[in-house]
Amino acid sequence: MTLDVVLKKSPDAAYRIYDGEATIVLPSHASVHVLNPIGSFVWESLDGRATLAQILDRVVEEYDIGREAAEADLLQFVGALRAQGMVG
Amino acid sequence: MTTPYDDLRNRNFSRAMPMNALFELTFVCNHACSFCYNCPTGQKEMNTQEVIDSLRKLAELNILYLTLSGGEPLVRKDFFDIAQAARQMGFALRIYTNGYLIDEPMAKRIKAIANPIEVEMSIHGGTAATHEKLTCVPGSFRKVVDATRFLRAEGIKVNLKCPVTRNNQDEVLEMDRLAAEVGATIIFDTVITPRDDGDREPVLQMSTDEFLERFWKDDAYRSARREDVPRPRIDQGGEAICGTGRSSLAIDPYGNIYPCVQLRRKAGNIRELASLKDMWRSSPVLIEVRRAAVEVAERLKTEQHGDQCGFCMGVAELQMGDLMSVYPQVARNAEFRAKAYEAWKREHEGEDPGGVSTRCEM
């Protein structure tokens, strides 16, 4: 996956944010996921308009984390979300 | 060991941040069950727009799990408009239905539009004769079984519920086998509740002592009761007994808001409120039931077999006129659970089956 990709939340996913943590329910997989605050920040940004590069900019701006490490984490994280059918 | 999701739910529970709502979309039903707890008043039920406006308020309250119930929710011609709006607002849906209208195309439509995490249906016997004696609708047994198959074919989880009475107690094992055969889970409820108007006639149909002894003790019923042994409730140190008005709320077809579907103390009307948030924090009804739910947990510790009571404050109030009074049928059920537990301990000296959380959040 590259940073020019645009992803959006799967319409299958039901979710709410509690205390900054996204709780995501996937009916088709009968599973519930709770994301940490940075994961939740990314999740909320996956709106089908922003590229991953733009989301990376926001993460680096919002959190005290180096760009290189953030990029690796972001790509791994959205890859996992995609593998689980949570984004497309 | 707890998961991040368990931790989040426990945090929300202790701070009374609600996650669940049950919405009775209509009291109209295509069955005429003799034990039905609904008591329609004849008021005008909410129209499509009013329901959707109400869903928006529930979303603002950060409700995640929304149960669409009735009456029979699928008799509403706008059911799928409502379900679609709910999904677009980010709710995870459950549907409580009698399954009568669910044929193959309807199951596909439910999957495509509502995509529920679960569909729950009641079953009242292992044979058509027993089931239909209660529903008073010929063919309704076959419909439940077929609906389960159609929904399972779409990959939808189906949970069957059976209130066990003396009419169907001898078919529990048959129902358990049938559920497994059609790929559904099944829950047997051995404590029968009165109707919402206080009519106790259904309670008189509660299963016999002989059955309760067998159900809680015999290995043949292990699968049906879903546990090896009826374990006592864990002492959760001052925690509320259930999520009534704390983690959940219920809305009836007229817009009335209750702490729970079983506890019908009106806290307000959703049509009249601009937002639910203020009511959720300040409603005297909700504050009172939250407090009572903590007190009940403590009080049950002093009751005989209190740790085996699947206590419901709604039933207590309806039947005993007091949120905290132990009602006879739950005491009787607890007595048989405790006997089975003691017998198990005698046979398994030195072993500890542990406790169980019996927290009800719907």
Closest to B129 measured CA to CA, from B176, B85, B170: B170
Q: B358: pLDDT confidence band, cut at 50, 70 and 90?
A: low
The count of CB pairs under 8 A between chains A and B is: 51
**3-class SS at B332?**
helix
A21 and B8: CB-CB below 8 Å? yes
Please, are residues B45 and B253 in contact by the beta-carbon 8 Å criterion? yes
> For B12-60, how does the pLDDT look when each residue is reduced to its tens digit (9 = 90+)?
999 999 999 999 999 999 887 777 777 788 889 999 999 999 999 999 9
- Best mutation site among A16, A24, A28, A43 for testing chain B: the one with the most B CBs within 10 Å? A16
Closest to B236 measured CA to CA, from B81, B10, B73, B27: B10
A30: closest chain B residue by CA: B117
CA distance A11 to chain B (A): 8
CA distance B36 to B322: 22
What is the sign, positive or negative, of the torsion defined by CA atoms of B53, B58, B62, B65? negative
Closest to B143 measured CA to CA, from B84, B98, B198: B98
Residue given tokens 């009013």 in the structure block: B50
**3-class SS at B256?**
strand
- Best mutation site among A8, A18, A35, A44 for testing chain B: the one with the most B CBs within 10 Å? A18
Considering only CB atoms, which chain A residues are within 8 Å of B7? 34
Span B71-80, mean pLDDT? 96
CA distance B166 to B207: 4
A28 and B93: CB-CB below 8 Å? no
> For B267-322, how does the pLDDT look when each residue is reduced to its tens digit (9 = 90+)?
999 999 999 999 999 999 999 999 999 999 889 989 999 999 889 999 999 999 99
The number of C-alpha atoms within 13 Å of B14 and in the hemisphere containing its C-beta is 9
B8 and A18: CB-CB below 8 Å? yes
B19 and A27: CB-CB below 8 Å? no
CA distance A48 to B308: 51
A25 and B64: CB-CB below 8 Å? yes
The CATH code of domain A6-83 reads 3.90.930.60
Q: Which two tokens stand for residue B290?
A: 């939250």
A15: closest chain B residue by CA: B90
> For A32-85, how does the pLDDT look when each residue is reduced to its tens digit (9 = 90+)?
999 999 999 999 999 999 999 999 999 999 999 999 999 999 999 999 999 999
Burial of B192 (C-beta count, 10 Å sphere; 0-12/13-18/19+): buried
Q: Which two tokens stand for residue A76?
A: 């791994």
B5 and A32: CB-CB below 8 Å? yes
* pTM, to two decimals: 0.94
What is the sign, positive or negative, of the torsion defined by CA atoms of B278, B281, B284, B285? positive
Q: Which two tokens stand for residue B163?
A: 């209130």
Considering only CB atoms, which chain B residues are within 8 Å of A11? 87
Residue among A16, A21, A27 whose CB faces B90 most closely: A16
Cβ contacts of residue B244 below 8 Å, gap of 6+?
B259, B260, B262, B263, B289, B290, B293, B313, B314, B360
CA distance B303 to chain A (A): 37
Residue given tokens 């760009």 in the structure block: A67
User: Residue B359 above 80 pLDDT?
Assistant: no
Q: Which two tokens stand for residue B9?
A: 């739910």
User: Residue B166 above 70 pLDDT?
Assistant: yes
How far, in Å, are B67, B99, B346 from residue B183 at the CA level? 21, 15, 35
Residue among A14, A18, A30 whose CB faces B17 most closely: A18
> Cα B34 to chain center, whole Å?
18
- Tell me which residues of chain A have a C-beta less than 8 Å from any C-beta of chain B: 11-12, 14-19, 21, 23, 25, 27-28, 30, 32-34
The predicted complex's ipTM stands at 0.92
> What pLDDT, on the 0 to 100 scale, is given for residue B361?
67
* Per-domain residue ranges of chain A: 6-83
CA distance A53 to A2: 9
> What pLDDT, on the 0 to 100 scale, is given for residue A40?
97
